[in-house]
Amino acid sequence: MKKIEAVLRHFKLEDVKNALSEIGVAGMTITEVRGFGRQKGHTETYRGTEYAVDFVPKVKLEIAVAEDRAQTVIDTIIRTAQTGQIGDGKIFVSDLTETIRIRTGETGNGAL
């Protein structure tokens, strides 16, 4: 099993969610996050006082998938979240050692 974490632009979330649903992803978790990569931050001015805002608001999507489905999910996210501009986000993939459905106690791929 793999855990896929994707940091995305807010306005791309709906497209990504719909595309993932279409390829059969059954569930996902969303978190409001802040961070920066190469995009860095931006400057805001309040009555002549400038503030450098380093951490840009993004949304983080977390999905647990079977290992053989991971690449399809990654490709789908890239396809739908890409604008080509700096700040499109990142995808992090890690090994997932166990998944347990709390309602039934099922484990592994069956719990996904």
Partner 1 sequence: MFKWYQVAIGAFLISGIVSASVPVQAQELAEVAAKADEAALAGHNAWMLTSCALVLFMTAPGLAMFYGGLVRSKNVLSIMMQCLFLMGLMTILWALYGYSLSFGGDGPYIGNSDYLFMKNVERTWDEATKAPIEPMAGAIPRYTHMLFQGMFFIITPALICGAFAERMKFSAMVVFSILWGTLVYCPLCHWVWGGGILAFGSDHGLQGGALDFAGGTVVHISSGVSALICALLLGKRKGFGTSDLRPHNLTYTILGAAMLWVGWFGFNAGSELASDGLTSSAFAVTHFSAAAGVLGWAFYEWITNGKPSVLGAASGAVAGLVCITPAAGFVNPMPAILMGAAAGVVCALACGKLKNSFGYDDSLDAFGVHGVGGTLGAILTGVFATRACWNIAEGEPLGMLEGGNVMPGQLTAIVVTWVFSIVATLIILKIVDVAIGLRVDENSEVRGLDLTEHGEEGYIFV
Residues that bind partner 1 (CB under 8 A): 44-49, 51, 53
Which of residues 45 and 97 has its CB atom nearest to partner 1 in the complex?
A: 45
Say how many C-beta atoms besides its own lie within 10 A of residue 71's C-beta.
12
Q: Residue 57 Cβ, how far from partner 1 at the closest point, in Å?
A: 14
Which of residues 53 and 100 has its CB atom nearest to partner 1 in the complex?
A: 53
91: nearest Cα among 57, 54, 60: 60
Q: Residue 53 Cβ, how far from partner 1 at the closest point, in Å?
A: 8
- Tokens describing residue 71: 């690449």
Which of residues 48 and 105 has its CB atom nearest to partner 1 in the complex?
A: 48
Q: Residue 32 Cβ, how far from partner 1 at the closest point, in Å?
A: 13
